[in-house]
């Protein structure tokens, strides 16, 4: 799960202070584990150093959260590429698949195109593993089977998610309204 | 073409297609099933046609196999139009050049396994002796050595599907059309049938159109296409780069594992 790219994606939606960014991250991608403030600020300063975000002028007050961050063109290009690129198919991808779908919908990109690309990557990986299982010894075959079952589960999730994209987009909109 | 490109890999990208559908349209009453579907299957290639229920994938197979006539578009077999042929000619083509495996109900329950396998050849006019000799020669390839005299009702679902496979291949068709061939089997038995199917068609260099909604079955194919809303989308594998968010480097094709392969095989 890429925290820097996810934060960049959230910043593309709207410029934010670190606190708001953390809150949005925890709401959508936290999985019950809050992102520590320290990590948010460390990540933001690294992104600023690399020219992916720009920090606004420090606002009056105490504490570290006195700057409003905006995404730069370079940062937006990173997000764009990340969201279009399928994830290397391997077991236990659920949070990454989820993040890419949700961020794509949030940013008005085609989640369907991403899911199609990811499906093709998964199918190709399954084809490779099946070929391996047909030709390899039984131990490799056993491991290939494990990979195949997990990829198959991902594929089912991909199909189901694609069928429900409109409803998911609506749910994201509703969540946004609930927030202050 | 060099010898090294004559294998299956090369076959999928070179030469004329063995089976081709061009911009196929087919409706049943007011229900559109195919809406401009195009697909080409190279000689010797195993192509999986995937898609959700009702996407039109079975209709596509039926059109390519000359069972249905498309409302518009062309179907070519070995470079020749077959959609414009009369029913008799298409029927003959299906008997001689095509083989079929379906999910259910393809064997004649009153006949023995040997009879069932010999049937397509007998219908095609092959002498009885030759047809039965061919049928018997298939039994060991399918692991059915001792079952030739049984009736199909007396064997398991997996065995029956292997018989169906033999019956589809006994006359050495150029193309095998398989529509959910493992659909009625449990997953382990289904895997066994697919293993056998792939092994046999590679030995015979049969072109295969495999319709399935199961990714695990499609994964046996050389290539996959998706049918959606009556159109074919090519599921070309995109360039997968290692995602920067994944902590490990991109895995090679082989399965990563902590120990080298065991010496005892």
Check if the beta carbon of residue B39 is closer than 8 Å to that of residue B223: no
Residues of chain A with C-beta less than 8 angstroms from the C-beta of B254: 132, 140
Q: Are residues A13 and A95 part of one domain?
A: no
Indicate the CATH number of B12-97+175-182+205-237 among 3.40.710.10, 3.40.640.10, 3.40.50.300, 3.30.70.1450: 3.40.50.300
Q: Are residues A61 and A126 part of one domain?
A: no
For chain A, give the mean pLDDT.
Answer: 86
**What is residue B13's predicted lDDT score, i.e. its pLDDT?**
43
Which residues neighbour A8 within 8 Å (Cβ) at sequence distance 6 or greater?
Answer: A47, A52, A53, A71, A75, A76, A78, A79
- In whole angstroms, give the CA distance from residue B147 to residue B139: 8
**What is residue B123's predicted lDDT score, i.e. its pLDDT?**
86
Residue with the larger pLDDT of the pair B39 and A57: B39
Q: Does B216 contact A152 at a Cβ distance shorter than 8 Å?
A: yes
Task: Give me the number of domains chain A comprises.
Answer: 2
Q: Are residues A105 and A32 part of one domain?
A: no
Strand order of the sheet with strand B72-77?
B31-42, B17-28, B72-77, B80-81
Q: Are residues A134 and A168 part of one domain?
A: yes
Over residues B12-26, mean pLDDT: 83
Q: Which one of A72, A97, A117 terminates a domain?
A: A72
- Residue B80: both structure tokens together: 């020749």
The single residue listed with the structure tokens 């399918």 is: B142
Q: Could you tell me the pLDDT band of residue B105, with boundaries at 50, 70 and 90?
A: low
**What is residue A62's predicted lDDT score, i.e. its pLDDT?**
63
Q: Could you tell me the pLDDT band of residue B12, with boundaries at 50, 70 and 90?
A: very low
Residues of chain A with C-beta less than 8 angstroms from the C-beta of B222: 127
pLDDT digits (tens, 9 = 90+) for B121-161: 898 889 999 999 999 999 998 888 888 889 888 888 889 99
Q: Which one of A47, A72, A97 terminates a domain?
A: A72
Q: Where are the domains of chain B?
A: 12-97+175-182+205-237
Of the candidates A117, A127, A144, the beta carbon closest to that of B255 is on A144
Residue with the larger pLDDT of the pair A173 and A152: A152
Residue with the larger pLDDT of the pair A119 and B11: A119
- In whole angstroms, give the CA distance from residue B132 to residue A35: 72
Size of interface A-B (CB pairs under 8 A): 96
Q: Is B152 helix (H, G, I), strand (E, B) or coil?
A: helix
**What is residue B76's predicted lDDT score, i.e. its pLDDT?**
97
Q: Could you tell me the pLDDT band of residue A127, with boundaries at 50, 70 and 90?
A: very high
**What is residue B235's predicted lDDT score, i.e. its pLDDT?**
60
Range of weakest confidence among A23-37, A147-161, B20-34? A23-37
Q: Are residues A65 and A128 part of one domain?
A: no
**What is residue B180's predicted lDDT score, i.e. its pLDDT?**
92
Over residues B102-119, mean pLDDT: 88
Q: Could you tell me the pLDDT band of residue A4, with boundaries at 50, 70 and 90?
A: very high
Check if the beta carbon of residue B169 is closer than 8 Å to that of residue B118: no
Range of weakest confidence among B49-63, B166-180, B195-209, B244-258? B244-258
CATH number at residue A67: 1.10.10.10
**What is residue A22's predicted lDDT score, i.e. its pLDDT?**
92
Check if the beta carbon of residue B262 is closer than 8 Å to that of residue A139: yes
Cα A41 to Cα A22, A45, A60, A62, B142: the distances in Å are 10, 6, 18, 15, 65
**What is residue A65's predicted lDDT score, i.e. its pLDDT?**
67
- In whole angstroms, give the CA distance from residue B166 to residue B144: 10
- Using the predicted structure, report yes or no on whether residue B73 has a pLDDT greater than 60: yes
Q: Could you tell me the pLDDT band of residue B242, with boundaries at 50, 70 and 90?
A: very low
The residue in chain A having the minimum alpha-carbon distance to the alpha carbon of residue B250 is A88
- Shortest CA distance to B200 belongs to which of B185, B220, B216, B218? B220
Please tell me the pTM assigned to this model.
Answer: 0.75
- Using the predicted structure, report yes or no on whether residue B80 has a pLDDT greater than 70: yes
Instruction: List the domain range (segments joined by +) for residue A42.
Output: 1-72
In a domain, A80, yes or no: no
- Interface of chain A toward chain B, CB-CB under 8 angstroms: 1-2, 5, 82, 85-90, 96, 116-117, 119-124, 126-130, 132, 134, 137, 139-140, 143-144, 147-148, 151-152, 155, 159
State how beta strands B17-28 and A53-55 pair.
unpaired
- Using the predicted structure, report yes or no on whether residue B49 has a pLDDT greater than 90: yes
In a domain, A160, yes or no: yes
In a domain, A67, yes or no: yes
Q: Are residues A101 and A66 part of one domain?
A: no
Check if the beta carbon of residue B225 is closer than 8 Å to that of residue B233: yes
Check if the beta carbon of residue A29 is closer than 8 Å to that of residue A8: no
- Interface of chain B toward chain A, CB-CB under 8 angstroms: 50, 52, 195, 198, 215-216, 218-222, 224, 226, 233, 235-238, 240-246, 250-251, 253-255, 257, 261-262, 265
Over residues B201-209, mean pLDDT: 94
Residues of chain B with C-beta less than 8 angstroms from the C-beta of A155: 215
pLDDT digits (tens, 9 = 90+) for A25-70: 988 887 678 899 899 999 999 999 999 999 887 777 766 667 899 9
- Using the predicted structure, report yes or no on whether residue B252 has a pLDDT greater than 90: no
**What is residue A1's predicted lDDT score, i.e. its pLDDT?**
56
């Amino acid at each position: 799960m890429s925290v820097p790219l996810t934060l960049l994606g959230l910043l593309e939606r709207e410029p934010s202070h670190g606190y708001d960014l953390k809150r949005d991250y925890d709401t959508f991608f936290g999985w019950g584990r809050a992102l520590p403030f320290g990590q948010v600020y460390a990540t933001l300063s690294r992104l600023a150093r690399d020219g992916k975000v720009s920090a606004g002028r420090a606002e009056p007050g105490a504490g570290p959260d006195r700057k409003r961050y905006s995404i730069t063109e370079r940062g937006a290009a990173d997000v764009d590429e990340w969201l279009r690129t399928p994830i290397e198919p391997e077991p236990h991808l659920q949070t990454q698949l989820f993040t890419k779908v949700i961020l794509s919908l949030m940013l008005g990109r085609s989640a369907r195109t991403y899911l199609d690309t990811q499906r093709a990557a998964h199918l190709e990986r399954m084809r490779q593993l099946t070929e391996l299982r047909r030709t390899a010894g039984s131990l490799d075959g056993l491991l290939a089977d494990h990979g195949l079952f997990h990829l198959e589960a991902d594929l089912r999730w991909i199909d189901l998610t694609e069928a429900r994209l409109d409803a998911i987009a609506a749910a994201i909109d509703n969540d946004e309204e609930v927030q202050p | 073409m060099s010898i090294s490109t004559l294998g299956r890999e090369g076959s999928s990208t070179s030469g004329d297609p063995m089976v081709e559908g061009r911009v196929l349209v087919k409706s049943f009453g007011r229900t559109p099933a195919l809406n401009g579907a195009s697909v080409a299957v190279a000689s010797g290639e195993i192509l999986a046609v995937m898609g959700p229920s009702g996407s039109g994938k079975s209709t596509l197979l039926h059109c390519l196999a000359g069972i249905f006539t498309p409302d518009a578009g062309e179907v070519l077999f070995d470079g020749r139009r077959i959609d414009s042929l009369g029913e008799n000619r298409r029927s003959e083509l299906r008997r001689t050049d095509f083989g079929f495996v379906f999910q259910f109900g393809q064997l004649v329950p009153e006949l023995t396994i040997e009879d069932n396998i010999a049937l397509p050849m007998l219908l095609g006019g092959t002498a009885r002796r030759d047809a039965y000799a061919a049928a018997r020669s298939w039994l060991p390839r399918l692991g059915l050595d001792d079952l030739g005299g049984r009736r199909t009702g007396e064997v398991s679902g997996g065995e029956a599907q292997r018989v169906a496979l033999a019956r589809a291949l006994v006359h050495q068709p150029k193309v095998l059309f398989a529509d959910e061939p493992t659909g009625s089997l449990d997953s382990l038995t289904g895997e066994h049938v697919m293993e056998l199917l792939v092994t046999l068609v590679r030995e015979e260099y049969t072109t295969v159109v495999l319709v399935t909604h199961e990714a695990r079955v499609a994964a046996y194919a050389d290539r996959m296409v998706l049918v959606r809303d009556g159109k074919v989308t090519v599921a070309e594998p995109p360039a997968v780069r290692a995602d920067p968010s994944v902590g490990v480097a991109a895995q090679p094709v082989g399965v990563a594992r902590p120990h080298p392969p065991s010496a005892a095989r």
